[in-house]
Amino acid sequence: MPNRSRLTEFAGLPVVEFTGWDTLRDDFGLAMYWARNRREPHTGHPRRYDRLFEAVAAPGSVAWRLRMESPSYGSGSNSPIETLGQYLDRFTEFVAPAEVAALIVGSMEGDAEAMPSDEVRDRLIGLAPKLTAVRSLFFGEILQEENEISWIEHGDLAPLLAAFPSLEAFTVRGGSAGLRLRIAEHRALRSLTVQSGALRPEVVRDVCASVLPGLERLELWPGSREYGGDSTPEDLSPVLSGTAFPRLRHLGLRNAEGVDDWIPALAGAPVLPSLATLDLSLGTLTDEGARVLLDAPAFRALKRLDLHHHYLSEETAERVRAEFTRAGVEVDVSGPQEADVDEYDGVRHVHRYSAVSE
């Protein structure tokens, strides 16, 4: 699933992590402790950093991951030797900032649960005049093992996009409670993705009210109602009407616990004929939603329909695959899931979960 492993490629570039001093100290400290106590060299430490050095020599050839880990107890010291500000300053000192094209921002200061999102945002804004070539930015690449997606907190990220007027693709993960993303105007942005375990209606309305005349790809993760992801098609109506983003060609409503409820609104939406691809993957699609997909001719004008990770019956999945393929639509119905069924107080309960949830 998307939040269970780190990206190895971003914006079409291989990812290289800018290693923090604390991680380097731990790596070499472990190797020396091992040699002293075991009386032999460690086979895996210290790690080789050739790829990092190659990337420093050609900063635009990779996507840079910025991430800080807590010092490991027992490898010399568990006190950090580098602050967030020092780490970011060192990055722009050793990596020519004007050549950096893509950035991934992961957990900082080794504590993803308390990621200082506003501080990281503000420091990136301060560095933006140096990072003039950045075209793709992923803010909040935090794994499930570090923090549940619905617990990742962000504030207002619109100022971050304003600081990078040449940015073409922006992805944010998390921000169930405080995220705001009403972008006054950004003429360069082509792709916007909001990955959430529970996308609040206010955020959806923020996005719809943003002035993004060049936007071609929009991906939203409605998530779970239980955690506050109670956005509805009405909240997205400016997008569905085709008026918000006239150049939109890809729409993703992924990781939606109630994806069946979105499909009837999509079936009659004026935006649908202008879309090339529709992504309803990672959600809880059932035969009920699939029947609307099959009955509405407008869906057959798509070039691609992604439904992977679903709760379709085998018969319905095969019918969807056959009919859309026959219509010339590339369709993905992989990843069938089984619902959890239990019974208490004489009532049968069926539970279906989106792919990225708690």
Residue 73, pLDDT above cutoff 70: no
Residue 112, pLDDT above cutoff 60: no
Q: How far apart are CA 81 and CA 87, in angstroms?
A: 10
Q: How far apart are CA 56 and CA 70, in angstroms?
A: 23
Residue 71, pLDDT above cutoff 70: no
The answer to whether 261 and 237 have CB atoms below 8 angstroms apart is: no
Taking the CA atoms of 190, 93, 123 and 77 in sequence, report the sign of the dihedral they define. Answer: positive
**Considering the domain 163-171+183-358, what is its CATH architecture?**
Alpha-Beta Horseshoe (3.80)
Beta strands (DSSP E) in the chain are: 9-10, 13-18, 63-66, 102-106, 136-141, 169-173, 191-195, 217-220, 250-253, 277-279, 304-306, 330-332, 340-344, 347-351
The pair of three-digit structure tokens given for residue 279, joined into one six-digit string: 């992504």
> Rounded to two decimals, what is the model's pTM?
0.94
What is the helix (H) or strand (E) element at residue 218, kind and residue range?
strand 217-220
The answer to whether 160 and 121 have CB atoms below 8 angstroms apart is: yes
Write down the domain spans for the chain: 1-147, 163-171+183-358
Report the share of the chain in percent with pLDDT over 90. Answer: 78
Q: How far apart are CA 358 and CA 338, in angstroms?
A: 17
**pLDDT tens readout for residues 301-325:** 999 999 999 999 999 999 999 999 9
Residue 206, pLDDT above cutoff 60: yes
Give 209's contacts (C-beta < 8 A, 6+ positions apart): 182, 238
CB atoms closer than 10 angstroms to residue 345: 5
Helices (H) and strands (E) in the chain, counts: 10, 14
β-pairing verdict for 347-351 and 340-344: antiparallel
**pLDDT tens readout for residues 2-58:** 888 999 999 999 999 999 898 898 889 899 999 999 999 999 999 999 999 999 999
CB atoms closer than 10 angstroms to residue 256: 27
Q: How far apart are CA 320 and CA 331, in angstroms?
A: 8
Residue 109, pLDDT above cutoff 90: no
> 145-154, 230-239, 295-304, 319-328 — which is least confidently predicted?
145-154
**Residue that the structure tokens 């089984």 belong to:** 338
Residue 227, pLDDT above cutoff 80: no
The answer to whether 128 and 163 have CB atoms below 8 angstroms apart is: yes
Give the Å distances, CA to CA, from 257 to 183, 300, 337. 27, 24, 13
What is the average per-residue pLDDT within 52-67?
98
What is the average per-residue pLDDT within 71-91?
76
Helix (H, G, I), strand (E, B) or coil at 126: helix
Give 326's contacts (C-beta < 8 A, 6+ positions apart): none
Q: How far apart are CA 169 and CA 202, in angstroms?
A: 22
The per-residue pLDDT for 344 is 75
**pLDDT tens readout for residues 337-349:** 999 888 777 788 7
The per-residue pLDDT for 18 is 97
What is the helix (H) or strand (E) element at residue 195, kind and residue range?
strand 191-195
The answer to whether 277 and 303 have CB atoms below 8 angstroms apart is: yes
